[in-house]
Amino acid sequence: MLELRHRGGCPGPGGAGTPPPREGEAAGGDHETESTSDKETDIDDRYGDLDARGDSDVPEIPPASDRTPEILKKALSGLSSRWKNWWVRGILTLTMISLFFLIIYMGSFMLMLLVLGIQVKCFHEIITIGYRVYHSYDLPWFRTLSWYFLLCVNYFFYGETVADYFATFVQREEQLQFLIRYHRFISFALYLAGFCMFVLSLVKKHYRLQFYMFAWTHVTLLITVTQSHLVIQNLFEGMIWFLVPISSVICNDITAYLFGFFFGRTPLIKLSPKKTWEGFIGGFFSTVIFGFIAAYVLSKYQYFVCPVEYRSDVNSFVTECEPSELFQLQSYSLPPFLKAVLRRDTVSLYPFQIHSIALSTFASLIGPFGGFFASGFKRAFKIKDFANTIPGHGGIMDRFDCQYLMATFVHVYITSFIRGPNPSKVLQQLLVLQPEQQLNIYRTLKTHLTEKGILQPTLKV
């Protein structure tokens, strides 16, 4: 920034920075002949000054305390800081992966609770940064309203999920029928109450700061709650749509770190100085191979491929079905160059393995930009990590910055290329209707199938 200000010249009589005269032009020459590039340089200089002043206004946040367990500190005390961090990250990564496998074994409901817990923690970390950066200690009701809006938005999204996937259960409970019928109105009324409380809490001389924090809260809700809801939507399509994308991002994160640690020489992006091209490329190939193999293994089991449904007769989630064509082995002809290498004409694959290439490619090429975005955010507010929840890793948001972007892509991918009409969901919605409405639909469907020749016409006596 000092270089930019120096290049922009000293302030002239009019108070604005005057660029130095160009070669062949007198100092007092006609400024109307100034080239477009000089004008753009002057604009860049002024905006650079504004950016510098904005950065200087951001206070330094004290570094988080080291939460590494004492037993690890003692065991690694003889290592350099670089290798100490490597071992801490490795041990905690293996621990988190082991816990993740345990939760997968416990079933879909526990995975949903895990997603909800991660969402709440990520929201807390981002809101806390805003609270510290903007010194919002004296703002009335700021934290209370932030958590209230989180509750409202979760009520809306989870209520929509209950209405879509648990219709048969709702039908048996009169209280739930009322809540589901007027769900959107109740959600809007709850949000309006929070909106009115915010307006009533406005304090003179703090208006701008309060609106900063209002916007901060809503952007945080958009990042965490909306995309967490998409993760759960993906989970209901089948656990494999949850596990392969998440594990691909984890694989890319680990392998890119390892390739960068041992072979990294070429910086990738200024936002993350430790990221290297070697790590980026190594992570890409490793992730595509991992996703292809993981898709093959998981496609064999109904537990992973069947849509998650709630069965009212057993009062629990079930994953039993006849696997769709995506998860049935198909024979594919090989291109000529592979025929010569593999010495075979065809290969048997699950169609989902082909889709896994698209998922793992996104996870390794576009997914990291979620991490770069988070790095830019942390640099803007002069923090190293979102929190110090996990030693060697930072906060929960530091580990899930790419996962949210991945979840959105998977949801869009499923709705665009995979999902067709869902007979189970249609049936659940029909069961909620009144008996007269169900009979009308039955007669209409019967007439339609008869006209198409699928059903034989009923003989009238």
- Of the listed ranges 58-67, 111-120, 334-343, the least confidently predicted one is 58-67
| pLDDT higher than 60, residue 448 | yes
Backbone φ/ψ region at 394: left (φ over 0), alpha (ψ -120 to 50), beta: left
User: 421 versus 147: which is more confidently predicted?
Assistant: 147
State residue 16's pLDDT score.
41
- Residues 6+ positions from 41 with CB-CB distance below 8 Å: 7, 8, 19
Instruction: Dig out the tokens for 17 from the structure.
Output: 């920075």
Predicted local distance difference test score (pLDDT) of residue 281: 95
Confidence at 131, pLDDT banded by 50, 70, 90 = confident
| CB 250, CB 153: distance < 8 Å | no
Collect all residues with Cβ–Cβ distance below 8 Å to 454 and sequence separation of at least 6.
none
Closest CA to 296 of 339, 246, 330, 338: 330
319-338: b (≥16 Cβ within 10 Å) or e: beeebeebbeeeeeeeeeee
Whole-number pLDDT of residue 410 = 96
**Is the pLDDT reported for residue 31 higher than 50?**
no
pLDDT tens for each residue of 35-76: 444 544 454 444 344 344 444 555 555 555 556 666 766 667
pLDDT at residue 454 above 70? yes
Nearest to 154 by CA among 92, 229, 234: 229
Please determine, for residue 3, whether its predicted confidence score (pLDDT) is greater than 60.
no
Q: What is the pLDDT of residues 152-190, one digit of tens each?
A: 999 999 888 877 777 666 666 677 778 888 889 999 999
Range scoring the smallest mean pLDDT among 163-172, 175-184, 341-350, 390-399: 163-172
Q: What average pLDDT does range 116-137 have in this prediction? A: 86
pLDDT at 136: 66
pLDDT at residue number 293: 97
Coil, strand, or helix at residue 453?
coil
- Strands (E) across 168-261 are located at none
Q: Looking at residue 440, what is its pLDDT?
A: 92
Bridge partners of residue 316, in order along the sequence: 311
Q: Is the pLDDT of residue 29 over 60?
A: no
Q: Of 49-58, 150-159, 225-234, 419-428, where does mean pLDDT reach its minimum?
A: 49-58
What pLDDT score does 107 carry? 85
Of the listed ranges 85-94, 199-208, 270-279, the least confidently predicted one is 85-94
Residues near 338 by beta carbon (within 8 Å), at least 6 away in sequence: none
Q: What is the pLDDT of residue 200?
A: 93
User: What is the predicted pLDDT for the residue at 366?
Assistant: 94
pLDDT (average), residues 339-347: 85
Is the confidence at residue 388, as pLDDT, over 90?
no
Q: Are strands 330-333 and 272-276 parallel, antiparallel or unpaired?
A: unpaired
Residues 6+ apart with CB under 8 A from 252: 283, 284, 286, 287, 360, 363, 364, 367, 368, 402
- Lowest average pLDDT, out of 116-125, 228-237, 339-348, goes to 339-348
pLDDT over threshold 60, residue 306: yes
Residue 444 reports pLDDT greater than 80: yes
Q: What is the pLDDT of residue 433?
A: 78
Contact 307, 238 (CB under 8 A): yes
Span 397-422, mean pLDDT?
A: 87
Q: What is the pLDDT of residue 65?
A: 56
Q: For residue 236, what pLDDT is reported?
A: 87
Mean of per-residue pLDDT scores for the chain = 80
Average pLDDT for 441-448:
90
pLDDT(129) > 80: yes
Nearest to 391 by CA among 52, 135, 84: 84
| The predicted structure's pLDDT at residue 88 | 77
- Provide the 3-class DSSP secondary structure of residue 107: coil
The pLDDT assigned to 57 comes to 55
Give dist(CA 175, CA 432) in Å, integer.
Answer: 14
